[in-house]
Amino acid sequence: MSKTERIWNVIVKVWKDPVWSKVISAGIILLVATLWTKYSNYSAQEVYTFIVSCLKYELPVFVFLSIIGLFFLTKWLIRFFKRNKHPIWDEQVGNYKFGELYHILLNQNLPFGTNGMNWSGQEPPQEDLLNMFHVYSPFFNKGVTLNDELNDGGYLYGVLAPKLVGYGLLEKIETKNLQIDVMDIKYQTSEVGYKFYALLEKSIYLLSGKSR
């Protein structure tokens, strides 16, 4: 008989003993209760009450311990995945995670012209929305209106800005025109837009560092 088998037989013999099995079970339950009290949000009294109520159902000890073990395993897994949350890509930005919105904008463009672009002979931009938001952020930070002279044929105001509003990166601000009965519209970077831009700058820095 091997050493492992002898040890196992001793454990089984002790566990089957009516006295020692109760002592071991009590010790294990006490240990579990102590750990539960330490790492959970429940008080010692609440843990004690729960254990007593479970024991009233006369569950086998291994079933009772398995239930508690499953509780700790679930809690550990939740903490493990929270601990592995990426500080940039998993950051919440409006209705999206930063990584989600990053790839949405990266894989999308708006190659549409305006009347102003047609008159001036300008071609619609082919760049992705991520790059365009990054490049034109200084304009959106100040606010873009219909009367701004940006030499873009009205593309920022008429095409790009309304699209970025849909992602929460810009806000549409309407004010009453004092000369005629219309509402003036200004597109300006929102709080979500500022947060996204800051994370974008960090991601660019990290990616450039990895490529060196």
Please report the DSSP string for the chain in residue order: --HHHHHHHHHHHHHHSHHHHHHHHHHHHHHHHHHHHHHSS--HHHHHHHHHHHHTTT--HHHHHHHHHHHHHHHHHHHHHHHT--TTTT-EETTEEHHHHHHHHHT-B-----HHHHHHTPPPP-SBHHHHHHHHHHHHHH-EETT---SSTTHIIIIIHHHHHHTTSEEEEEEE-SSSSSEEEEEEE-HHHHHHHHHHHHHHHHHHHHT-
**Structural domains of the chain, with CATH:** 3-81 (no CATH), 92-201 (1.10.10)
pLDDT of residue 183: 86
One digit per residue, the tens of pLDDT, for the chain of length 212 reads 566 677 667 666 655 666 665 556 656 665 665 655 555 555 656 655 665 565 555 555 555 555 666 666 666 666 666 556 778 999 999 999 999 999 999 999 999 999 889 998 999 999 999 999 999 999 999 999 988 988 899 999 999 999 999 999 999 999 887 777 788 999 999 999 999 999 999 998 887 765 54
pLDDT of residue 94: 95
For 88, residues 6+ apart whose C-beta sits below 8 A from its C-beta are 98, 99, 199, 202, 203, 206
Rounded to two decimals, the pTM is 0.60
What's the rounded Cα separation, in Å, for the pair 67 and 28? 13
pLDDT of residue 123: 93
